[in-house]
Structure 1
Amino acid sequence: MTGLIERTQATSAPVAELLTSVLGPNSPIRVEAFDGSTTGPPDADITLHVRTPRALARLASAPGSLGLARAYVTSDIDVDGDLYAALHALSEVTLHSIPRREQLRLARQLLPYWREHHVPPPDLEAKPKGLLHSKRRDSQAISHHYDVSNTFYEYVLGPSMTYTCAAYPDVDSTLEEAQAAKYELVSAKLALKPGMRLLDVGCGWGGMVMHAAAEHGVRGLGVTLSREQAAWAQEAIAKRGLSHLAEVRHLDYRDVPDGVYDAVSSIGLTEHIGKANIDSYFSSMYAKLRPEGRMLNHCITQPHRPTKRHTDPFISRYVFPDGELTTIGNLVTAMNDAGFEIRHSENLREHYAMTLRDWGANLERNWNDGVAEVGLGRARVWRLYMAACRLGFDLDNIQLHQVLGVKLGDNGSSAFPLRGEHGAY
């Protein structure tokens, strides 16, 4: 009898009011729930629809960003209006989650929903097995994200098939112009010239090695842990008539034979290798370079020393399993300790927010085809993650750094000009 009374009292609160405790009393978002309850401004630009009791069960099992993400991915919660704007309004929940005390209070309120309506997490969550950052486990983690569907990535990334931060020449540049500018920026920093040998680790669909070959006459080898990326890249290389200069292999960066390469580019790999492997990673890249050879490391960073050990649970479970970020200071120190002389560092944070904006726009334009290709749940994962990451870059919760280093030659020779373009390199 007591349990029945507790259950009745716990579920008597209108659902929209329960959600308001998560969103905050001054939230500009309207909430409309399956029980007919509503809160928030009637004329709000954004409406959060709580469509089923399962949404509350998911929030009970994981209060904060993960529970909300699970409910969104499964369509138990939906959003009318701009998703990026909604996440901005929800930034304290989506980016920082809610305080532990509030989580416990909310969990108690939602416990009856969990008892009656709980279901397993969506099967889209990654479950890599084995020792963290072992070759076998890294292969599983990369496959989870990148072996989704080359066709789906074509819808999202556009013709460049480039899944890393672009460099926008100006605010009106197209995504394709900005991706080409990024590859040319990397080429300029590496001082690529005809006949050079380039190693591109974590090469994706081969964009860098194809640009280096086509625009600079460079012989490029790209390596990726994604079988689908390697197959797509090799076909694209052949179609462009670059097979005599460019190659992409399905290979772990740790299995690439040591040099001698004239340049190494790493565009978006460092996030995947694990903080514990940063030192050995830079040492291995250093060993592959000739004296006076350059390395350009391009990766997402944290703007300050993290207070939490793990990344956002939504990102780690749905998007980049086992991904780990570190600060630019730690990266530069590790690169320097491996033997590189650091010559230049640049933060492209705003450019990544713009890149994610344009990927999101591509996904919306191709939404029906994308859903048909990978299913509604996975398409909603990508929609949510791109909007959330865009917000993260806009709010300076994450950054994107390019760091340029050189392996010095005899007597400390760097082969750098006294002043490079704009005095930078």
Structure 2
Amino acid sequence: MGPISRRGVLGTCGTALAFGAGCLGDGTDGESNGDGDGSAAEGGTWPSFRGGPSNAAVADADGFDEKPTERWTIDLPTGPGTAAIADGTAYLAAGSTLSAIDLANGDERWTVSLEGTRTGSPAIAEDAVVCPDAAGLLVVGRDGGDRRHVPYDGETTARLTARQQAGPTVPSSPTVVDDTAYVGTPDGDLVAIGLAESAVTWRSPATTGWTSLAQQRRTAGGVTSPAVADDRVVVGTESGIAAFDAADGSSEWTHDTERAVRSAPTVVDGTVYVGGPTPVALAAEDGAVQWGGEGAASLSLQGTRVQELPPMVPSVAVGDERVVIHESDERLVALDRGDGSRRWAVPLEEVESLSRPAGSTGAVQYASSWSSPVIADDSVVVGTSAGVVAVSREDGKGLWRVPTDGRVVASPAVVDGAIVVGDGGGTVRALEA
């Protein structure tokens, strides 16, 4: 890949602006990430897809009630994932490349090739960046050197080929804790990779096989991005939600669902939260249902036959008071964290209309974006099929929209006063207050 084409530096560093998937910390008004176990992202970093091992997606920052400006835009291959950020560098995987981008001005610091197309977003370890592809995990020094590729081992040929013929695999981004990377493989296993040894520590099957439900949907089995807390790894699968011992990969519990789970679980204060039309909260220790699940009323699409039930995507953001979900019909829904009751729901079309020319009419047609929301102080931020939007955390009132040329599927990442987010066409933007 040649030098990245920077399309313009449109602003300078300004007021701290944080969005996206997880600069986790103590909130100023009751919406902290609630970890309390040291697993939250350190200040100045955005280490993984949902901002830290718990996947809470809460940013300790304010200033989002005003529309941000663009600091810079760059062009990458199509479909860039969520950025991982540390020490003023944003690491982005797009197509079959992993790039390091200067957060201040959008300049390319280095780009390396993956073994194949990316299967998830990168994550940051103590002295390296890791990024998954179909065959294993690429490990690269933060300066672009010391490049290693750790194969997943196990069955990655006939079974994987059969699944790929049926449909796309479930994206799984790695979660790094104590120099171990946990990630789902394209053929439905969960692996732990010791980064110091560059070897698989353990590999466990995370599904009960290619279920009839998956066959009916013509989807491939897979494992979501893991949440890691209290020495436990929790993932979603085609069959439900599963928890494993982080030390040896032994199964701790499973929770069956009628829907495939493609959203990364969030673990906060001993509770597992998973979104979708039938969100559920489970006890992290044993998987017992605390609220929600298939027995509760769906947020939408009630009466749909089981084999047609849409999967549970995207991932939730969990603050002290709320669980925020991005619904497949392009609306945000906020639930009470304690009992799952609805606080508010807002169609994102209403937010999109904030930027329409005066006097314009007509409905907007959407394709689901699957971008996961983030709680950022008084705001909730998420990507849509037409841009990046923010609504009030308190009542869902639309605040602003930044339009994009393509659908935003990736989740925003936030650090050092910048929101970094890419759209499906390959344009990556850094926004600031």
Q: Report the TM-score when normalising by structure 1.
A: 0.24
The structure with more radius of gyration: 1
The structure carrying a bigger strand percent of its residues is 2
Name the structure, 1 or 2, with higher relative contact order (CA <8 Å, separation 6+).
2
TM-score if structure 2 supplies the norm length? 0.24
